[in-house]
Amino acid sequence: MGEQVDGLPDRGGEAVRWLLERLRGNRIHRSVRIGHGTRIGRWCIIEENVEIGPDCYIGNYVHIRPMVHIGAKSELRDHVFLAGEIQIGSDVKIFQFANISKGSIIHNRVYIGAGSILTNTRRISHGRQYEPKLSAPVVEYGARLAVGVRILPGVKIGEQSLIGAGTVVTKDTEPFGIYLGVPAHRISSVPIEEIY
Ligand SMILES: CC(C)(COP(=O)(O)OP(=O)(O)OC[C@H]1O[C@@H](n2cnc3c(N)ncnc32)[C@H](O)[C@@H]1OP(=O)(O)O)[C@@H](O)C(=O)NCCC(=O)NCCS
């Protein structure tokens, strides 16, 4: 973070952008770097040290916590929440109300359906005398999560796998597999014509 990234303007340009965005109801930290051609809706909060690459689309009411990096041509639709320290590749689409836990890694060309949730702690400490162990999911290249998918901590979603609507994924998925159910089980393979 903090290094020059292709397609991001220098910090002088960002100061002007910061002012304009504030007039539109957005709260964008001064340290945030936004690439050329990236559009941002209204009522968004973008916290410190976030980098958004060029030609991205950020919808309305999106909240991005600190230290998130988003590659070029990615889209975050309305009400997406990114919990911080997340790496998102290029050409990624994340749909309405998705909630991505801190530390997640999302590779290029991933699709995350509306209302999907990625989690990063197996136990919920909620005032108990222990530190929760953080282990965020990884979603590999070209994987697709349908609507309302839940990914448990530390799970890796294999390259180009397809996870059906409402699935709860408790273990790593194999590349190119189609998974369904609670807990997820493999039902078939992604057809060749659907492979990028
Ligand atoms: C995963 C998915 C692609 C599977 O499609 P498919 O391979 O064509 O499978 P089928 O529709 O033939 O269903 C196969 C079986 O699994 C069941 N099934 C399908 N989707 C399921 C799901 N999400 N959860 C549980 N069971 C499911 C079907 O009822 C069927 O059961 P049956 O054999 O007892 O009749 C599809 O069901 C799905 O979830 N698509 C995503 C929809 C979505 O979120 N779109 C994005 C935004 S609009």
The arithmetic mean of pLDDT across residues 136-161, rounded, is 98
- Write down the CATH number for the domain with range 92-194: 2.160.10.10
pTM (2 decimals)?
0.92
Asked if pLDDT for residue 72 goes beyond 50, the answer is yes
What was the pLDDT predicted at 2?
37
Asked if pLDDT for residue 3 goes beyond 50, the answer is no
Point out which residues pair with 180 in neighbouring strands: 185
Question: Quick one: CA torsion of 35, 39, 44, 45, rounded to 10 degrees?
Answer: 0
With b meaning 16 or more CB within 10 Å and e meaning fewer, what string describes 82-104? Answer: bbbbbbbbbbbbbbbbbbbbbbb
pLDDT digits (tens, 9 = 90+) for 13-70: 667 777 788 888 999 998 999 999 999 999 999 999 999 999 999 999 999 999 999 9
**CA–CA gap between residue 23 and residue 157 (Å, rounded):** 40
Domain spans in the chain, listed from the N-terminal domain onward: 92-194
147 lines ligand 1 (CB under 6 A): yes
CB atoms within 10 A of CB 50: 23
6 — pLDDT class (breaks 50, 70, 90): low
Give the distance (Å) from ligand 1 centre to CA of residue 164. Answer: 6
Strand pairing class (87-88; 105-106): parallel
178 lines ligand 1 (CB under 6 A): yes
The arithmetic mean of pLDDT across residues 117-125, rounded, is 95
Asked if pLDDT for residue 160 goes beyond 80, the answer is yes
Mean pLDDT of the chain: 93
